[in-house]
Amino acid sequence: MANLHIHGGDVYRYPHVLDFSANCNPYGMPEGVKKAAKDAVEKAECYPDVECSRLRKALALEEEIPYEQIICGNGAADLIFGLALALKPKKALLLAPSFAEYQQALQAVGCEIRYHYLQKEEGFIPNQSFIDAIEKDTDVVFFCNPNNPTGVLKNLEYVQSIAEKCRQCGAFLVLDECFTDFLEDPKSYTMKPFLKEYPGLFLVRAFTKKYAMAGLRLGYGFCSDSKILAQMRAVMQPWNVSVIAQAAGEAALKERTYVEETLGKIRKERKFLLRELEKREFQIYGSEANYIFFQGPEGLREKCLEKGVSIRDCSNYEGLGNGYYRIAVRREEENERLLKVFDEIEI
């Protein structure tokens, strides 16, 4: 079995390399968020608000979602594990490749996992066959849009078809929207407007990527079924969102200028990187978010490390073998350095 704990962003094992393996905002945490986190240290002697009241109120205003339909967690992974514990599913359907934490959470509760393998020949694009694979005995379906690591994006009509099939079969749908903010038109791809229509739908979001807050651990989710949220709170660790993370999250939601400016730069740099990688004849798939998924020669990651750059080797994703990689979109000068490294390596 692939080692699921190998992850992008391993700056501790390789502290002196330029990291393209983690898909976070390359412009760093906003100064206002840093200040809020530092100021909150003075309150860290107290237990955090178990309800995350202020943060949830701020999210309700920002996301236009009712307060009672919002839950916060210690990163998106905390919510995914919380859902698995709350639902206790017996059978689950997952895409492969996709985010490894779905598999880990389901295995932790003894759930049988069925994989729907995406095909290289089809560009790793989900089609009707995935929807057809949702059956009467399916308890939960996980779907990531855009998908990680491929970056393949499906339109809202397709995602609604998944939700409808789940409703017909009595399956719960967990929709991971952690990377929608990096799309050109995020509002056209979110299922937020359909939460009331589909009570068996849970949307996963996080502060991690957009605000470069991976180390603070802060995720949130939406669901219109109050019973599901109550079940999650009953099984999740109490006080799971620290005083510092809650303060940082509130501050982050005020950083509209930062978001607009940095996401605009990332989208521009993504297009630049795609053009340059295509010139170098890499096989590129999907890549609609702030990262690019491609096929290259085996051993590319190790050769990049020798030159001070870390990229994500995707061989430990279910459904992928050697020679598949993911790179984050970083700042202009950093992207140019990566391209120079690729040019120096004999491919």
**Is 333 part of any domain?**
yes
Coil, helix or strand at residue 258: helix
Residue 328 is part of a domain; what is its CATH number?
A: 3.90.1150.10
Q: What order of strands is seen across the sheet that includes strand 324-328?
A: 283-285, 291-295, 324-328, 312-313
- Please report the pLDDT score of residue 347 as a whole number: 66
Looking from the CA of 176 toward its CB, the CA atoms found within 13 Å total 28
Compute φ and ψ for 120, nearest 5 degrees: -55, -40
Host H or E run for residue 205: strand 201-206
**Is 12 part of any domain?**
no
Report the distance separating Cα 248 and Cα 242, nearest Å. Answer: 10
Residues 293/149, Cβ–Cβ less than 8 Å: yes
Mean pLDDT of 81-99: 98
Residues 314/320, Cβ–Cβ less than 8 Å: yes
pTM: predicted TM-score of the whole model, two decimal places: 0.95
In this prediction, what percent of the chain has a pLDDT beyond 70?
Answer: 96
Considering the domain architecture, whether residues 105 and 237 belong to the same structural domain is answered as: yes
pLDDT tens-digit map of 12-43: 676 689 999 999 999 999 999 999 999 999 99
- For 112, other C-beta atoms within 10 Å of its C-beta total 12
Confidence of residue 346 (pLDDT cuts 50, 70, 90): confident
* C-alpha 262: how far from chain center: 18
Residue 52 is part of a domain; what is its CATH number?
A: 3.40.640.10
Residues 327/287, Cβ–Cβ less than 8 Å: no
- Please report the pLDDT score of residue 52 as a whole number: 98
Considering the domain architecture, whether residues 43 and 170 belong to the same structural domain is answered as: yes
Compute φ and ψ for 251, nearest 5 degrees: -65, -40
Mean pLDDT of 109-132: 98
Number of domains comprising the chain: 2
Instruction: Please check the confidence at residue 7 and state whether its pLDDT lies above 90.
Output: no
Considering the domain architecture, whether residues 170 and 278 belong to the same structural domain is answered as: no
Mean pLDDT of 252-277: 98
Using omega within 30 degrees of 0 as the cis cutoff, is the peptide bond preceding 89 cis? no
Q: Report how far apart, in Å, the C-alpha atoms of 46 and of each of 40, 42, 65, 215, 244 are.
A: 10, 9, 29, 21, 11
- For 250, other C-beta atoms within 10 Å of its C-beta total 18
Q: How far apart are the first and last CA of the chain?
A: 29
**Is 116 part of any domain?**
yes
- Please report the pLDDT score of residue 1 as a whole number: 39
- Please report the pLDDT score of residue 4 as a whole number: 45
Instruction: Please check the confidence at residue 60 and state whether its pLDDT lies above 70.
Output: yes
Residues 101/232, Cβ–Cβ less than 8 Å: no
Residues 252/33, Cβ–Cβ less than 8 Å: yes
Report the distance separating Cα 153 and Cα 142, nearest Å. Answer: 15
Considering the domain architecture, whether residues 23 and 39 belong to the same structural domain is answered as: no
Considering the domain architecture, whether residues 37 and 22 belong to the same structural domain is answered as: no
Query: What sign results for the dihedral spanned by CA atoms 54, 59, 64, 70?
Result: negative
**Is 3 part of any domain?**
no
**Is 9 part of any domain?**
no
Domain that holds residue 182: 31-253
Q: Which of 253, 272, 292 is the last residue of a domain?
A: 253
Residues 63/223, Cβ–Cβ less than 8 Å: no
Greatest CA span in the chain, whole angstroms? 57
Report the distance separating Cα 316 and Cα 65, nearest Å. Answer: 36
pLDDT tens-digit map of 146-203: 999 999 999 999 999 999 999 999 999 999 999 999 999 999 999 999 999 999 999 9
Report the distance separating Cα 6 and Cα 279, nearest Å. Answer: 30
Considering the domain architecture, whether residues 220 and 288 belong to the same structural domain is answered as: no
Host H or E run for residue 143: strand 140-144
Considering the domain architecture, whether residues 188 and 74 belong to the same structural domain is answered as: yes
Report the distance separating Cα 342 and Cα 73, nearest Å. Answer: 38
- Please report the pLDDT score of residue 16 as a whole number: 81
Report the distance separating Cα 11 and Cα 305, nearest Å. Answer: 12
Q: Which of 253, 282, 311 is the last residue of a domain?
A: 253
Task: Indicate the residue type of 221.
Answer: G
Average pLDDT of the chain is 96
- Please report the pLDDT score of residue 3 as a whole number: 46
**Is 280 part of any domain?**
yes
Report the distance separating Cα 192 and Cα 60, nearest Å. Answer: 12
**Is 10 part of any domain?**
no
Task: Indicate the residue type of 293.
Answer: F
Query: What sign results for the dihedral spanned by CA atoms 102, 103, 108, 109?
Result: positive
Q: Which of 216, 237, 253 is the last residue of a domain?
A: 253
Confidence of residue 76 (pLDDT cuts 50, 70, 90): very high
Report the distance separating Cα 105 and Cα 250, nearest Å. Answer: 28
